[in-house]
């Protein structure tokens, strides 16, 4: 187990402890394997490590920290850029593991809600879902170098899409973020990431 996996495992154990549950013995290894697939360029183990690191930093701000943590672990567990149902399939994977662990219906429903919020097709109303989404979108407010690498990694994941179509779709998505009153839905993330995110997106669109 390398350093990233060790830190992820610490967060994994913490999330399940908050739920007062023990996950199936092989669940963590299976999850790491999915994020380590060679076909992933951005939605990989580094992205998972980034979001879980932020989750642990802001854990005290969640109403349901255990459920939010599990959702972040599984939010990109299934990722195929050629499909549009990655989030529900990831939620299904999380649910299967939670059922094995003996989780209740309310906890499972909350995890599904939080994962589905990362579709980013609407602004969530649930306060925990807002924070989950803000964590997932934190890369938009990253340093110039990190943002440029993120853009290239996303392009690599969509290498099967012709350049002009990718640019058209990418522009539509990024412009939709700029049109929002706020990209980030929580004061914590607006203060920390909003200005830089808008700067990064505008620079990308101008280029």
First to last CA, the chain: 40
Question: Model pTM greater than 0.85?
Answer: yes
> From residue 202, how far is each of 23, 144, 176 by CA, in Å?
43, 12, 12
pLDDT of residue 121: 85
> From residue 38, how far is each of 6, 35, 157 by CA, in Å?
20, 9, 10
pLDDT of residue 123: 86
> Phi then psi for 36, rounded to 5 degrees?
-95, 5
Counting as low any pLDDT under 70, the low residues of the chain are none
pLDDT of residue 48: 98
pLDDT of residue 175: 97
Task: Give the domain ranges of the chain.
Answer: 3-136, 140-206
Locate 80 and state its tokens.
């195929």
89-98's contacts with Cβ under 8 Å and 24+ in sequence apart are 90/115, 91/115, 91/116, 94/70, 97/23, 97/24, 97/27, 98/21, 98/70
| CB contact at 8 A, 40 and 157 | yes
């Amino acid at each position: 187990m390398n350093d990233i996996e060790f830190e992820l495992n610490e967060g994994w154990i913490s999330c399940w402890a908050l739920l007062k549950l023990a996950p199936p013995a092989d669940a963590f290894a299976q999850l790491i394997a999915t994020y380590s697939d060679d076909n992933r360029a951005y939605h990989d183990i580094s992205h998972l490590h980034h979001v879980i690191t932020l989750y642990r930093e802001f854990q005290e701000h969640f109403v349901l920290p255990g459920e939010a943590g599990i959702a972040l672990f599984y939010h990109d567990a299934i990722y195929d850029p050629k499909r549009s149902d990655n989030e529900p399939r990831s939620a299904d994977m999380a649910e299967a593991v939670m059922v094995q662990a003996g989780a209740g219906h309310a906890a499972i429903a909350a995890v599904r809600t939080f994962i589905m919020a990362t579709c980013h097709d609407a602004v969530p109303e649930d306060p925990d879902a807002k924070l989950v989404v803000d964590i997932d979108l934190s890369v938009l407010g990253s340093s110039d170098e990190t943002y440029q690498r993120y853009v290239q990694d996303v392009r690599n994941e969509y290498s099967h899409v012709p350049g002009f179509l990718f640019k058209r779709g990418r522009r539509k998505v990024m412009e939709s973020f700029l049109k929002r009153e706020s990209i980030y839905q929580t004061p914590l993330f607006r203060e920390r990431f909003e200005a830089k995110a808008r700067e990064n997106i505008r620079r990308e669109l101008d280029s």
